[in-house]
Structure 1
Amino acid sequence: MNAKVNRHEFADRLTLGDTLAKDIAGKLDAAVKARGKASLAVSGGGTPKLMFAVLAEQEIDWSKVSITLVDERWVDESSDRSNAALVKHHLIAHEAHVATFLPLFDKAHADDVDAALADVGKRVDALGKPFDVVVLGMGPDGHTASFFPGGDHLAQALDLDGKQSVLSMRADGAGEPRITLSLPRVLDTRALYLHIEGNDKKAILDKVIGGEDLPIAAVLKQDRTAVDVYWSP
């Protein structure tokens, strides 16, 4: 297991969300002051909603912050399955409403995620490398980003020597086709967080740390980038 995995446990989700949001805001603020801009890649799902709400109210120069997604279902923002829609509603608001948001879904290739990869990859890379902050989540099957067990491009996505910034992913547990940052692109960040909540997620984390081979293990076992795990019941 990566010696750079730092685990932080909180009594409740409110405390976790408040602490994580302020930690992220501090890193974005420092990036803006040091380099004139900052970049943030976030995950969707229900877990980060509370954290997003707190983060959106932090008083930093959001006009110099670019936000994108770690992964996305290949659906339009009109779908209730869209991570972009979730982020726009919960994070691109309040103080953060002036941030630049880069979605991963490409309407020009709405019927073919693979046809969109080159263009989307260029747009993501135009944000600059490394990211300042990346926030991952984890599903009950041990997936993170769209690194699903049995995914058709899982090996490519987890290849630490891979050159693609984004890949498509199809898997039985994924529902729609997906687009996802590759593991090397996720790890190319100044700060990497894994945000999980619930005893079921903690049990999965403990299994992986104990040696079970689930996709999240690729993030936790690499020694390229430190990972801060934020958990609450």
Structure 2
Amino acid sequence: MPDTPPPAATPAPVFHRHPDADRWAAAAADAIARALQEALAQRERARLLLSGGTTPAPAYAALSRHELDWSRVDVALVDERWLLPDDPDSNARLVREHLLQNRAAAARFEAITQPGRTLDDAVACANAHARQPAAAAVLGMGDDGHTASLFPGMHGLDRALGSERPYVAVDARDCPGARQWAKRISLTPAGLRYARTRLLLLRGENKRQVFERALADGDPHRWPVLVALQGETPLQVHWCP
């Protein structure tokens, strides 16, 4: 019997440098729109995974004006704080205010949390929706190297990184990057792996340096953002000063 071939090497990320925030947002929006258009040409619906935070908001606003058949697009979240979807600090609220406007208002949105939904129910619903592979996943990164709600030093990080489920509940207490929102639901590497296009949106010199340190170190337990590299296609990193 022949030996089992070694796993394919992780593709190196592709780094796109943009001179200013406006061109950065436009380029990121164009890349997401292309991924959705390609998916819609092949299947009836396309799924888009989005992160929260203030960094991607301008890109979402630019994307909302793209001419796509948004009625065939399912928008979901990479992660969510354990907050109701209309809470000002929820990722759902940010996506509604910045993406689900203009032409993109026709998209179907899958909020992870809902009134009356338990944490276990929310995870189960997110995993049920995740059966449809994502055309694109948009990620951010904190100054501590976290992405989604996967924080360095987080209780249960090993379990989340090794989970076969697309989404898990996480406990980020004592993780400064999580601030006061310790209870969360996060995409896992298993959930991210099959996104055809993966984008990491970074702004500022500090974020660039953090990402470069993560690449040099190579340990996703210290730098969870490294899970974004896992996939059949290269991670697309869009950065501006």
Shared fold (TM-score, shorter chain, > 0.5):
yes
- Structure 1, gaps ≥5 residues long: none
Deviations 1:66-114 (CA, angstroms, capped at 9, x unpaired) = 00000000101232210000100110010000000001113223xx524
**Does the 8 A contact of 1:146 with 1:179 survive in 2?**
yes
Equivalent positions of 1:205-216 (< 5 A) are: 205-211=211-217, 213-216=222-225
**Does the 8 A contact of 1:4 with 1:225 survive in 2?**
no
Q: CA RMSD in A?
A: 1.7
2:49 pairs with 1:48: no
Which stretches of structure 1, 4 residues or more, deviate above 3 A after TM superposition?
222-225
Q: Quick one: which amino acid aligns to residue 148 of structure 1?
A: F
In 2, distance between residues paired with 1:223 and 1:68?
A: 19
Equivalent positions of 1:1-233 (< 5 A) are: 2-109=10-117, 112-125=118-131, 128-129=132-133, 131-159=134-162, 162-171=163-172, 172-173=174-175, 174=178, 175-176=180-181, 177-211=183-217, 213-220=222-229, 222=230, 224-233=232-241
What secondary structure, in the 3-state scheme, does the structure 2 residue paired with 1:204 have?
Answer: helix
Q: Quick one: which amino acid aligns to residue 89 of structure 1?
A: E
**Does the 8 A contact of 2:143 with 2:210 survive in 1?**
yes
CA separation of 1:135 and 1:4: change in aligned 2, threshold 3 A: same
In 1, distance between residues paired with 2:186 and 2:140?
A: 13
Tell me the TM-score normalised to structure 2 length.
Answer: 0.88
In 1, distance between residues paired with 2:215 and 2:78?
A: 23
Q: Quick one: which amino acid aligns to residue 15 of structure 2?
A: R
Q: Quick one: which amino acid aligns to residue 56 of structure 1?
A: S
Deviations 1:189-224 (CA, angstroms, capped at 9, x unpaired) = 11111111111100101111221631112333x464
**Does the 8 A contact of 1:39 with 1:66 survive in 2?**
yes
In 2, distance between residues paired with 1:219 and 1:20?
A: 16
Question: Aligned residues: percent identity?
Answer: 33
- Structure 2, gaps ≥5 residues long: 1-8
Tell me the TM-score normalised to structure 1 length.
Answer: 0.90
What secondary structure, in the 3-state scheme, does the structure 2 residue paired with 1:179 have?
Answer: strand
Q: How many correspondences in the alignment? A: 225
